[in-house]
Amino acid sequence: MAKLPIHGVHAPGLTLFLIFLQYPPLLLALSSSCTIQTKHFINCGSSNSVNYFTRDFVGDTSSDSVSFSEQNTSTQSSDQLSSVSAIYDTARIFRSPSSQYVLDRTGKGTHIVRLHFFPFGSSSNLSEALFNVSVKGLTLLSNFQVPSSTDSPVVEEFFLSISRARLVLRFSPQGSSFAFINALEVFLVPDGLAPYYAPNLRTTYRINVGGGEVTLANDSLWRSWDPDDDYIHVPNAAQNSSSYESALHYQDDLDKCLASELVYQTAKVMSVNFTNGQLYRNTTWSFKVSTNARHLVRAHFCDFVSPSLNTVYFNLYSYDNFSELIDPYGKKVFRQRLVPFHYDLLVKPGSSGLVKVSIGLLNTSMYQQAYLNGLEIMVIIGSKDSEDDNQNKHVSLMIGLVSGSIALLCIFGSAAIFGCKYRKPKRADMSVWTPSPAFRGGSKPTEQTSHGSVASNFHLGLTIPLAEIHFATNNFDGKLLIGSGGFGNVYRGTLRDGTKVAVKRSKPESEQGFSEFQTEITVLSKIRHRHLVSLIGYCAERSEMLLVYEFMEKGSLRDHLYNSDFPFLPWNQRLEICIGAARGLNYLHKGVAGGIIHRDIKSTNILLDENYVAKVADFGLSKLGPLDQSQTHVSTAVKGTFGYLDPEYFKTQQLTEKSDVYSFGVVLLEVLCARPSIDPSLPREQANLAEWGITFIKSGNIEQIVDPVLAGQINPNSLRKYGEVAEKCLQEEDKERPSMRDVLLDLEYALQLQQTTAGMDICEMSISEIFPR
């Protein structure tokens, strides 16, 4: 079958129809997976009903759900019967400028509307028709024409949000031309299939990544999916792969409607290996689209790749300047593999007219793999911006990373400074408009409230209405207070959808408050990582500044080390916590968001989830680091916490990533010795943990400072390695200190030494020495 000449969704050719006939049981299995409600299938220009892929397309002259003015229309039949379906043997022709089809009883909500066109040979040369199609002022097709060279039907697909129980489709012939249509589908789909912020869409690409063509017979919403071969940049960079297991574990009914099961059962998979002598770390697909129009990019994932849970996570990129961590288990949402999920991105390509999507390996992932199962590219229609070519507008939208906080800053009147300082440089001809981290399809509202959907607010600008936070915290009930810090009180809370959260509420008198608030939002909305506490949202209403985080069940690392009633942590677990925190910190320094310096690493800013997974928290003091390679530091007034402060930073006021490494070294000692970084009750020479601890390590007496509850638990080699890492981190001069990557590798090695009985025999080189970068 020839490719369609225009951006349309392919209709199947004869070969595909045969494939369907070979696998009828599959169709039955799939059709029960996603239920649709009101539906209209119309065979235009005919009084006959035609069955086409399990649907009866009723002739428009005999259907009681569609009406049109007979005077201005005529019918046309093909000279030759179509090999695809009899729905392409007839057409309705519209000649008047106000021609319309009126469909009754469509129901309110999101509809899939498909317009089928096939310019068959006939007395009225259909390929000469030039026309617009619109719905209530919303242009669906403009100056539309189907060339006669088309040997297969063209199907234009839209997602339309219809607020009334009827749909009026207007056909407007251009000049002296006419309009035509062969068949029409309109059916109501579950809420959330089109996100609330992009309710009207036109489908341009629908791709089964890593698999073959999926025909509409194998999709419960009669979509067809093309293979990705024509769009992938370097085909060798990833391999096609299919799942051996067929049962998918859907999280809810909406997910069943998002894509064909077959899409989730195949993927393009990349892993760290050499292909044709070359190492690939990214795989990219690109798609030609309308320049300067906003697009929704929906990336579909289903993990059948990971050897086990929690072992594979990777990045999804759009162009090169937006990335999202894909970590299906990091959020503890999925406790099993083969769970379909998706991410939505909003992208506005510049004059390049290209949408580029990539997946990239992360060296922090246990298995360096990445996968992608499906991609949909849909142009957003109906908003002013979609047709707006104005570059200035374009630039302001592209800031997008924190669109909500930009709005917020306007309220506070400091948008200009902030925007200039932290915005990534604009690329010449492309821009990511607004990343919309719809984690596993979070674009669907969970519960509507009088002020809108909570969940939906998470995805665009992360704002949460104050009333929702009052609800979650029972009006800041004192019983839910879990702590208090520099920014203000912290409350436990539960959102309406059951998500447990921690809410930080600024103290009215807090001087630091606003700048910490904006930094936290800027930093956390740029990044997501299994070992960084996620920001769920924020609120700036009335005089309140509120930050809402994922709830960390086990509190802070310090709570488990000293001055608390928690049971003590065994050595292995302490090492795993340090490794987790090191991963998070390494990601801040070197991850895709790049060059972020935390500035306040301490044991109270390392929080533990219910499984004791460590996550770095509290980015209020963090700094975005050097903008280019030539700069090595950021000059700043000294901030941080006494006892953890890098002495070099203190002296020079020049902040580098190595300042975090120093503070992390103090945390390592806290973990080992289970005592505070500063203890004024101790004699002067013992009060400062870093000074005191390092003398014992240097003199080879590290075992004398180990937390007494760990006596006999630590493998001496593991202990020595750990002491070495702490010592290196605490070097006076920052250039002598290791990078967080090296710290991470050495800590992993210390854990390995602890875990292996053969640990004693392992050559005691630093891992970073064995595997130099």
How many residues comprise the chain? 773
| CA–CA distance, 584 with 591 (Å, rounded to integer) | 9
Contact status, residue 401 vs residue 322, Cβ threshold 8 Å: yes
Our finding on whether 549 is near ligand ADP (CB under 6 A) is yes
In the bound state, the residue with its beta carbon closest to ligand ADP is: 485
Contact status, residue 405 vs residue 437, Cβ threshold 8 Å: no
| CA–CA distance, 501 with 495 (Å, rounded to integer) | 7
Annotated binding site: 504
Contact status, residue 538 vs residue 462, Cβ threshold 8 Å: yes
The span of 43-51, 314-322, 350-358, 545-553 binding ligand ADP (CB under 6 A) equals 545-553
CB of 546 to ligand ADP, least distance (A): 12
Contact status, residue 378 vs residue 203, Cβ threshold 8 Å: yes
CB of 505 to ligand ADP, least distance (A): 10
Our finding on whether 520 is near ligand ADP (CB under 6 A) is no
Which of 116, 504, 528, 574 touches ligand ADP by CB under 6 A? 504
Please list, in sequence order, all residues whose beta carbon lies within 8 angstroms of the beta carbon of residue 252, skipping any fewer than 6 positions away.
none
CB of 616 to ligand ADP, least distance (A): 11
Q: Which ranges constitute the DSSP H helices of 32-81? A: none
- The active-site residue, picked from 600, 609, 618, 742, is 600
Q: Which is nearer to ligand ADP, 107 or 513 (CB)?
A: 513
Neighbours of 580 (CB within 10 A): 23
Our finding on whether 555 is near ligand ADP (CB under 6 A) is yes
Report the C-alpha dihedral over residues 708, 713, 716, 721, rounded to 10 degrees: -80
Q: Which is nearer to ligand ADP, 295 or 504 (CB)?
A: 504
Our finding on whether 112 is near ligand ADP (CB under 6 A) is no
| CA–CA distance, 504 with 270 (Å, rounded to integer) | 40
Q: Which is nearer to ligand ADP, 283 or 506 (CB)?
A: 506
Q: Which is nearer to ligand ADP, 556 or 659 (CB)?
A: 556
Please list, in sequence order, all residues whose beta carbon lies within 8 angstroms of the beta carbon of residue 207, skipping any fewer than 6 positions away.
225, 226, 227, 228, 231, 285, 374, 375, 376
| CA–CA distance, 468 with 459 (Å, rounded to integer) | 15
Give yes or no: 344 in active site: no
CB of 521 to ligand ADP, least distance (A): 15
Q: Which is nearer to ligand ADP, 490 or 674 (CB)?
A: 490
Q: Which is nearer to ligand ADP, 97 or 485 (CB)?
A: 485
Which of 156, 226, 228, 618 touches ligand ADP by CB under 6 A? 618
Please list, in sequence order, all residues whose beta carbon lies within 8 angstroms of the beta carbon of residue 478, skipping any fewer than 6 positions away.
none
The span of 99-107, 267-275, 604-612, 673-681 binding ligand ADP (CB under 6 A) equals 604-612
Our finding on whether 663 is near ligand ADP (CB under 6 A) is no
CB of 25 to ligand ADP, least distance (A): 49
Our finding on whether 616 is near ligand ADP (CB under 6 A) is no
Annotated binding site for ATP: 504
Our finding on whether 622 is near ligand ADP (CB under 6 A) is no
Strand order in the sheet with 131-135: 66-67, 99-104, 166-173, 131-135, 138-144
Q: Which amino acid is at 507?
A: K
Q: How is residue 703 annotated by DSSP?
A: G
Specify the residue for token string 């302001």. Answer: 396
Neighbours of 452 (CB within 10 A): 13
Which of 1, 234, 415, 482 touches ligand ADP by CB under 6 A? 482
The span of 164-172, 189-197, 268-276, 476-484 binding ligand ADP (CB under 6 A) equals 476-484
Our finding on whether 92 is near ligand ADP (CB under 6 A) is no
The separation between the first and the last C-alpha atoms of the chain, rounded to the nearest angstrom, is 49
The two tokens of residue 204 are 């341009």
The span of 21-29, 52-60, 68-76, 485-493 binding ligand ADP (CB under 6 A) equals 485-493
According to CB under 6 A, which residues from 153 to 172 bind ligand ADP? none
Q: Which is nearer to ligand ADP, 525 or 605 (CB)?
A: 605
Our finding on whether 598 is near ligand ADP (CB under 6 A) is no
| CA–CA distance, 681 with 651 (Å, rounded to integer) | 26
| CA–CA distance, 158 with 162 (Å, rounded to integer) | 12
- The footprint of ligand ADP (CB under 6 A) covers 482-487, 490, 502, 504, 533, 549, 551-552, 555-556, 604-605, 607, 617-618
Q: Tell me which residues are annotated as active site.
A: 600
